[in-house]
Amino acid sequence: MKIACVADSKCILGEGPVWDERTQTLHWVDIKAPAIWRLDPKTGQTQTWPMPHRVGAIALREKGGLVAAMKPGFALVDLEKATVDIIARPEEHTPDNRFNDGACDPMGRFWAGTMDDLEKSPTGHLYRLDKDLSVTRFEAGFVIANGIRWSVDGRRMYFVDSAARTIWVYGFDVVKGVPGMRQVFAQLGKADGWPDGLCVDADDHVWGAHWGAGRITRYRPDGSKERTIEIPAPNVTCCCFGGENFDTLYVTTARIGLDEKALSAAPLAGGGFAITGLGVRGRAAPCFRG
Ligand code: BGC
Ligand code: CA
């Protein structure tokens, strides 16, 4: 196994890596810059696009461009044309909230959760954006709605409730796009930090980032720990598989919340990392079909 910093991006809150098979590039966000980043691993070149609003998550659109969950709501983003169109504002009643993590389900609907930006009030909701751009609100009461992804068959939805240090697993009706009963998938303790973003590999195992504990855990489908990987930055936010054969694990990290001492001990904090030699493959993230 080898871990390398592939983008010394010094993101304030680097998050939400997405591999684009078409261009063989990695996109991710810096929620608080706010900005969208892109890395071409073949050349090592990065590009950055400043965004007009805080951007919690992005997914690729089938039609090209991106869908995003931003501070004012859902948006369609075209980086080449430099356009950001807000298409829905479901959280106008909670001005202290912002969108956080998000992803598409296997049928190409985009899901994203919201959180109190001060991380105090349980005002976070979970939303579904359909192909026709209509929005449905689901569960409420999260302080920090975080990573959301699906099992390979789409019948399980993993959802991270960071402040409660809980990763939930919901039954999921793929056809209707509705989550059912939930149970605890993994409960973290204080020494584990907070669960943040996650991804599901081709063997249906879950890779979960630990904010405040500098590591990633791979869980078996029953929630037991399969392995742990140390990351040279304490605030590990999310991961996704990418690369030609989907055998590289890309990891995002954040600088926010680290004092000078912590930053000098972890100078690469806020960077993007690539882990190879894991002997595991991921799969393409579903695109937004709207
Ligand atoms: C949020 C951060 C938060 C962290 C803690 C991230 O996804 O964007 O604001 O501090 O999770 O788990
Ligand atoms: Ca996150």
The distance from CA 118 to its chain's CA centroid, rounded to whole angstroms, is: 19
Question: What confidence tier does 44 reach under pLDDT thresholds 50, 70, 90?
Answer: very high
| 117 CA: nearest ligand 1 atom | 9
pLDDT value at position 53?
97
Q: What is the pTM of this model?
A: 0.97
Percent of the chain with pLDDT over 70: 100
Q: Which residue has the tokens 């690369």?
A: 243
Report, as an integer, the average pLDDT of 73-97: 96
Three-state DSSP class for 163?
Answer: helix
Question: What confidence tier does 15 reach under pLDDT thresholds 50, 70, 90?
Answer: very high
Cα angle vertex 152, ends 151, 158, to 5°? 10
DSSP letter string over 110-133?
EEEEEEETTS-S--EEEEEE-TTS
Ligand nearest to the CA of 254: 1
- 214 Rama sector, left if φ>0, alpha if ψ -120 to 50, beta otherwise: left
Q: What is the pLDDT of residues 177-233, one digit of tens each?
A: 999 999 999 999 999 999 999 999 999 999 999 999 999 999 999 999 999 999 999
Please give the structure tokens belonging to residue 177.
Answer: 């796009």
pLDDT value at position 25?
98
CA–CA distance, 200 with 202 (Å, rounded to integer): 7
Distance 52 CA to ligand 2 centre (A): 20
Question: What confidence tier does 140 reach under pLDDT thresholds 50, 70, 90?
Answer: confident
Give the chain's length: 290
Report, as an integer, the average pLDDT of 134-139: 96
DSSP letter string over 173-215?
ETTTTEEEEEEEEEE--GGG-EEEEEEE-TTS-EEEEEETTTE
| 56 CA: nearest ligand 1 atom | 8
> Residue 244: CB partners within 8 Å, gap ≥ 6?
24
Distance 175 CA to ligand 1 centre (A): 31
Q: How much is the mean pLDDT over the chain?
A: 97
pLDDT at 139 over 90: no
Ligand nearest to the CA of 252: 2
Name residues contacting ligand 1 (CB within 6 A).
13, 15, 31, 100-101, 119, 144, 146, 162, 194, 196, 211, 237
**Ligand 1 pocket test: which of 12, 13, 32, 210 has the largest number of ligand atoms within 8 Å of its C-beta?**
13
